[in-house]
Structure 1
Amino acid sequence: MRNLNNEFIEMLRNEVKPAVGCTEPVALALACAKCKELLGEEVIENKMFVSPSIYKNGMCVGIPGTERLGLKIAAAIGIVAGNSENGLSVLEGTSQEQIKEAEELMDAGRLSISPADTTEKVFIEIEFKGQNSTAKVRIREKHDNFTFLEKDGNIILNKENKSKSVQKDTEATKTLMDDATLEEIIKNVEALNYEDIKFLKNGVDMNLNMAKEGLNHKLGIGVGYGIKENMEEGIIGNDIINSAMMLTAGASDARMAGVDMPVMSSNGSGNHGLTAILPLVAYVEKFPQSDERLCKALALSHLTTAYIKNFTGRLSAMCGCGVAAATGATAGIAWLMDEDVEHISGAVRNAVADLSGMICDGAKSGCAIKLSSAAASAVRNALLAKNGNYAKTVNGIVAEDVDTTIRNLGRVSDRGMTITDTVILDVMNDMNKAN
């Protein structure tokens, strides 16, 4: 068993970060802010290219501070008010005067955003031209990962791969999770020093605050609000599953509506963070745990999510919140239930069997419905496994061992659903044109 404590702590610090607003339009705003800073003057001409996955995810989502939806208003705010040093919180604290200026910029019809001709999941390229200067930036692989910066033809940063023909299984692109096992993750998490991971508790507070917004006010579709009403009327019980659904959906309702508050993200997504954290919070509210145990369970949830995302891709045709993050939460809850490695593995295999068909059709108010299903599934599958209720043999794409199961899920998502993603985007574009 490898000792990966330091590597996992570094991964948690890199992948569990505060974010304000949906991370796809936020990444575009971040890129625009950086490009404007490099330019150092008013933007006269602009060209913006984003990967089809970012284009899809940013099309219909609310943006903090404004009632507008989508990528153009996010880009406009990035140009007008963005500070790239704020990272994925680049939209936080924008004043109403700045919002008004950004809306005017958007309404002027001079912003050019197009899908890039790329198979990369996370790709943003911005080109700005001013009266005296030009600037270009690129983000690749992760939502806040700048790989290229240029001003007036002078390259300031270039950390892009020189050869795009390098395959994923070569040493040049090998990741820590390529050879990982779930047992290895569990054992390393159990050995982590609490002082190194207690920052994960901040995510509980952030995401609970967002949930309270969605439960106190009917925002978006009002999924969490509606579940709370049904609880109060005695139609459904205030049990762990319904509580997990309520908290997670309520937070998504508020976030997708554009509430200007941070959440703790996971693996580049705020909704992943909600799903990876809040079902565990619902469990702990019913069965209190020490902060150390909660943080270790959160670490397991985030790292299991990262393990799955390593194979399914950063963005995909599968709903990452409903598949990867919910499966991570399943592992975390099973661990809090004192299940051993075999039973946690069974819970994860249950989750893959349960959730693997959930598609991603972009960030929007309806995500709250998917997150409610994901949260319920996380608790249910952990409970089933606790009593030994999981498949002991091959079961569809679910293999006899959990690690092969996760890799099978990755094959279906990364290689099998590329055309699905294209069709989803085509359908969404057709509906937007019709409206």
Structure 2
Amino acid sequence: MKIVYALLATTLLTSVAAAPPASNAALDARIAKLAAQEEAKVIAWRRDIHEHPELGNHETRTAGIVAAHLKSLGIEVKTGVARTGVIGILKGGKPGPVVALRADMDGLPVTESNSLPFVSKAKANYNGQEVGVMHACGHDSHVAMLMGAAEVLSQVRKDLPGTVKFIFQPAEEGSLPGEEGGAKLMVKEGALENPKVDAIFGVHIQAQTEVGKLSYRPGGEMASSDVFNIVVKGKSAHGAYPWLAVDPVVTAAQIIMGLQTIVSRQTELTSDAAVITVGMVHGGVRNNIIPEQVELTGTIRTLDKDMQQKIWAAIRRTATHIAESAGATAEVSIQNYAPVTYNNPQLTELMLPSLRTAAGADKVSMQKAVTGAEDFAYFQEKVPGLFVFVGGMSKGTDPATTAPHHTPGFMLDESGFTLGVKTLATLAADYLALKK
């Protein structure tokens, strides 16, 4: 029955959505023309930022470029929000609601393997070790596209019935342990206040989707992301005499295998997808010494709050009971990085015509939910939000041959950036017209 209801909902969503208000058709056309004129600038900004990436909470150079650009457009600017975040406020020529547009600015601790003329050679210290730094998820393009949208909207400000708030966010990829940052901190520091935001929109480039295409999903679009840590404590002994030990290595291995049955045997996967991955195993210092403890760290991805809580409980139960059966103990801690990226269904329905205006009706599609995560979700917890994927793969390319996000060979087709600019600006202008 859930499948039937989902199909009905999809049909209704498609059929009910109408065209943007007729009064905004001329403005949308002008926005499309201005966005096309911005292409060379947007590509140049993106290349510069790509060549000089910065890790989360350290985006000082990027923030400086953004702030200077916004000020040059006559936009009110606030810097230092959530450490390095930048907020711009563009007041339209008429009173009305407030809409926010968001881009993330941080790179990743990844050493780039591409041979681009603007390849990143940047280095930084991350978790106590020197690493390469790269925009391996497209945040450089997000910044450039939002800078382009700001310039477009600033040129039509007299026709905007309300206010546009531009949010350039640091640390979407997360902060170092013990360091707060990202969208959560921006919300805490008032990014959605003064003036109070009524709705927020964001886009994410997608290296496995063809340029010129947009995709979206109402409701749960991207998974929540949790980090779990399990410390297995046993008793040390010489490796030649394991009977004198309580071996945390073997116990940890049993826990790793036991965790896999939570998804495969304890979770109703016909409801929604779920993932449990152990990404780090630390323990021991020598080949013939059984250590005192082993530490496991991993990620949990869910698309439903109830399922999330059930998985948390199952991880605690599985780890502690397996450890107990071996005579060891397991200390389990779980921290939430990001909630479910939840596209407000009513807002999605309202703005679907705007997506079709920006890309063309045949270039907009509903996608399946993905188990990647986005801290844009923290904004969506406070105000209705819509998060859209923009194609960044060259036409005719097999997605299986493209480098995934977060990898050294990650690559984008820059011809897709204009659609991102147009989508952001069109969503903002149409929302203000619809809600004035």
TM-score by length of 2: 0.24
Larger Rg: 2
Structure 1 or 2: more strand by fraction: 2
Structure 1 or 2: more helix by fraction: 1
Instruction: Name the structure, 1 or 2, with higher relative contact order (CA <8 Å, separation 6+).
Output: 2
